[in-house]
Structure 1
Amino acid sequence: MVQQDSRTVAIRNILTRLSKRSGLSADRLRTTEIDVAPLLDLPVIQERAQQDGKSPQEAVLPVVTELARQLDPTNRLIADAELSLGLLREKHPAGIDLARLYAADLGERREYLTAQWRSLHEAIGAESIPDAPSVRSLRATPERRAFTALAGRLAAASTYSLSNYRFTPEPKVRIALPDSPSHPGVVTVIGSAVIDHIYRVHNIPSAGKSTPGNFEVHAGGKGLNRAVAAARLGLRVRLVSAVGDDDAGRHILNYLAAENIDTDLVTVVPEAQTNVTAVMITSTGVSSKIGCEDDRLWQGAHDMRDPRLRDELESSDAILLTFEQPADAIRRVLAAVRGMTHPPALVVHPSPPVESPQYLYEYLDAVDYLVGTPWELHRMMPVGSAAGPDDAQRLLSLGVRAVCLTDGFRCTVRSADVNADISDFPVALEDSPGAAAAFSAALAYQLVTARRPADEPAFRWATAAMVATQSFGDIPNAMPSIRDIDRIIQLAGERPAGA
């Protein structure tokens, strides 16, 4: 299960108690006997109050309403009705009695919510609709889950006190439910979780030059981005990573909790600082990065020889591995998967490149799918090798089952069974920094749902996931849903021949 810090639990309990009677309002916060100080003291509430020139009590409702809009449909409906937020007042759905949905009594709101469960989900465009709970069962797990998700977002929208930068609230959350039987499979992601400093610029300046731009701070990292992308597709996801015992690390854990990503294997390393990456992104989507890393993080992370970690890997349906950890740890992961009787599908992104890739060659027969840009895949060749179109064949000869070259929003696949060049999707940008994560997660989704090796349509769907990420910077929240990817597939199918 996802770990929850004490602040998230405290905020959840406050929201649960505030749902009683007529719901959440500034007057209720002023007059309630509930200790609401932990809610009013949240940085996002204090900043909103200062920005709007209002009291913290007056700032709570607009902040909670904004974050509630970003929950998955079921959690959003529960939070909306029980706190009487009024999210459906702007566009009144036909057939919905808003007077009953936002009644002055919580009991009446619960009754109407359960009675109109399917109609309300359909009204907000839910892709899947769980069975309607009874009023009694609604008061147990569904309410707790909804208020935990909302509290996690409130806690995650916090101040980055190390450098006085504000973490902007992460939009468009699509929460996966870890204990839902509808999950098609379990994916374990091994990679970094960092803080991304996002600089949106017109162009990346050359030496001695400057350029105007905008700046934001978000959770990120190759591992975290893949974990979020897989969770957005409805998979059960756990992340193997490490963060520092600092505000940035706590922000990342809160963000992962809000996404319902299992963080039991995310190590908090004492006295280490969470890694930071500066990302410059141009108006065409091209990016450049600067990594600031604390070597103590991976040294204090989970040892791949730990039997518990090996058991978690073996119980996965798919593993997504990046090369962000030390080479010894990479070798141990590959060796562990190679030695399993029934290994999960292994999708590897060899980034950042390792200095001596030949030391990994004896384990490459454990790799089902090697995914990377032409430059990243060429760096898997011995130093001094000439780049060329035969790099994919060389990697196949070393035991890799399929090589996927991703370049912009195009994909070339080479394997014993598939020989495909996928480049016919309409795009607006040259590149997107979240594309690689979306491809790997979408490929994992195809593998665990189909329960067979990927065919050309599976690679095409994963390529469409890259196209669906076209974004200027907020990488994890650019990760697409199933509906987003299907829409790209449909648009490509509607294009005239040769367009």
Structure 2
Amino acid sequence: MTDIVVVGSLNVDVVVPLAELPAPGQTVLGVADHRRAGGGKGANQAVAAARLGRRVAMVGAVGDDPEGEWLTGLLAAEGVDTAAVLRAPRPTGQAIVLVTADGDSTIAVSSGANMWLAPEHLAPSYDLIASARAVLLQQEVAAEVVAAAVAAAGGLVVLNPAPARPVDAATLARVDVLVPNRGELAALAGAPAAASPPGPADPAALAGLPALARSLGTRGPVVVTLGADGALVVTADREWLVPAERVDAVDATGAGDTFCAALADALLDGAAIDEAARWASRVAAVTVTRPGAMAAAPRRAEVPAAS
């Protein structure tokens, strides 16, 4: 049996290192050569889960082009089953990643084959999705694809609602664990997002988040990722903060994807949601100390023991 089926995006990332991110209308020169890397939230999560030792299958689409061939080969080399990755009459998705030395990043995505994927394309994979112990999803594919995959899932459903967009109530009601960041939570709940969210040291920073999380109607907990501030775990009757590990960040590009994969990994081992969030925080902390997204995901043996 497959442990985790990831339904989502596959992109080729073009990473440009910068001294600082450009302001609107500004041109800045890179501080090093650009590099090509595997990416897309779905592919990142699939590789992260595989590196933690899980049996992983990827459901998605790439173009019938050299980039698609290279990208599926990259996943296969990591042990990810790519038999359900379709070839589309659209280009393979591309992401332009602007990243600074302190780990800040801005990403622009040309979706290509990812948005070609439609619910009917999932039909040959329904048995795979239904039999998986967990299904991990994001929102770099069409909303209808996410809804169809959630409806087909027979195991644990973990949804990372990134990038932010509405999710219909019927889909949310079938989600076992929702993993938004602050902005995505606000967007799902129809609430305004703070332009510059304060850190959790200020109680007002977190005061409204539990109510927003509980308003969504998921059938399980909501884990709100807070970047360097940690993660807020919200259940029906309790909420608590899981502090972030303190590390010297190099590149935060793939940290959220690694967090989601590690969360699913721990839950499959029977961990309670707070324990799973702590494990995910430790795994993500290793990721941000390395450049890249997919390439930065650690193997299980590389994650330090809890202090």
Normalising by structure 2, what TM-score? Answer: 0.87
The residue aligned with 1:72 is: none
The residue aligned with 1:249 is: 68
Cα–Cα, structure 1 residues 397 and 201, in superposed 2: closer, same or farther, change >3 Å?
same
Matches of 1:300 and 1:467, distance apart in 2: 32
- What are the Cα deviations for residues 93-120 of structure 1, in whole angstroms up to 9, with x where unaligned? xxxxxxxxxxxxxxxxxxxxxxxxxxxx
Most deviating of 372-381 and 469-478: 469-478
**Counterpart among 156, 178, 182 of residue 374 in structure 1:** 182
Letter in 2 for 1:468: V
- What are the Cα deviations for residues 377-403 of structure 1, in whole angstroms up to 9, with x where unaligned? 111123xx3348434423323322111
Structure 1 residue 269 and structure 2 residue 77: aligned? no
Matches of 1:302 and 1:398, distance apart in 2: 24
5 Å matches for 1:386-397? 386-387=192-193, 389-397=207-215
Two-structure CA RMSD over aligned residues (Å): 2.2
The residue aligned with 2:293 is: 475
The residue aligned with 2:137 is: 321
Letter in 2 for 1:483: A
Which one has a larger percent helix, Structure 1 or Structure 2?
1
Matches of 1:332 and 1:423, distance apart in 2: 34
The residue aligned with 2:17 is: 200
Letter in 2 for 1:225: N
Q: Which is bigger in relative contact order (C-alpha 8 A, separation at least 6)? A: 2
1:370/1:404 contact within 8 Å kept: yes
Matches of 1:186 and 1:412, distance apart in 2: 26
1:265/1:302 contact within 8 Å kept: no
- What are the Cα deviations for residues 56-97 of structure 1, in whole angstroms up to 9, with x where unaligned? xxxxxxxxxxxxxxxxxxxxxxxxxxxxxxxxxxxxxxxxxx
Matches of 2:148 and 2:208, distance apart in 1: 28
Q: CA deviation at 1:320?
A: 0.7
Query: Structure 1 segments of 4 or more deviating over 4 A?
Result: none
Matches of 2:209 and 2:244, distance apart in 1: 23
Q: Percent identity?
A: 31
Q: CA deviation at 1:205?
A: 1.9
Letter in 1 for 2:181: T
The residue aligned with 1:447 is: 267
Structure 1 residue 309 and structure 2 residue 86: aligned? no
Matches of 1:472 and 1:291, distance apart in 2: 22
1:242/1:301 contact within 8 Å kept: no
SS of residue matched to 2:246: coil
5 Å matches for 1:35-46? none
Letter in 2 for 1:233: L
2:59/2:85 contact within 8 Å kept: yes
Matches of 2:59 and 2:238, distance apart in 1: 31
Matches of 1:279 and 1:472, distance apart in 2: 15
Larger Rg: 1
> Aligned residue pairs: how many?
291
Structure 1 residue 333 and structure 2 residue 144: aligned? no
Letter in 2 for 1:314: A
1:304/1:310 contact within 8 Å kept: no
Cα–Cα, structure 1 residues 390 and 198, in superposed 2: closer, same or farther, change >3 Å?
same
The residue aligned with 1:235 is: 54
- What are the Cα deviations for residues 459-494 of structure 1, in whole angstroms up to 9, with x where unaligned? 111111111102453211210122222x1x44xx2x
What 5-or-longer segments of structure 1 have no aligned partner?
1-182, 338-342, 494-499
1:194/1:220 contact within 8 Å kept: yes
1:346/1:368 contact within 8 Å kept: yes
**Counterpart among 278, 282, 294 of residue 464 in structure 1:** 282
The residue aligned with 1:162 is: none
SS of residue matched to 2:29: coil
Which one has a larger percent strand, Structure 1 or Structure 2?
2
The residue aligned with 1:412 is: 232
Letter in 2 for 1:416: A
Q: CA deviation at 1:327?
A: 1.7
Matches of 1:424 and 1:293, distance apart in 2: 31
5 Å matches for 1:482-493? 482-485=300-303, 487=304, 489-490=305-306, 493=307
Q: CA deviation at 1:431?
A: 6.2
**Counterpart among 227, 252, 261 of residue 432 in structure 1:** 252
Normalising by structure 1, what TM-score? Answer: 0.55
1:418/1:456 contact within 8 Å kept: no
What 5-or-longer segments of structure 2 have no aligned partner?
194-205
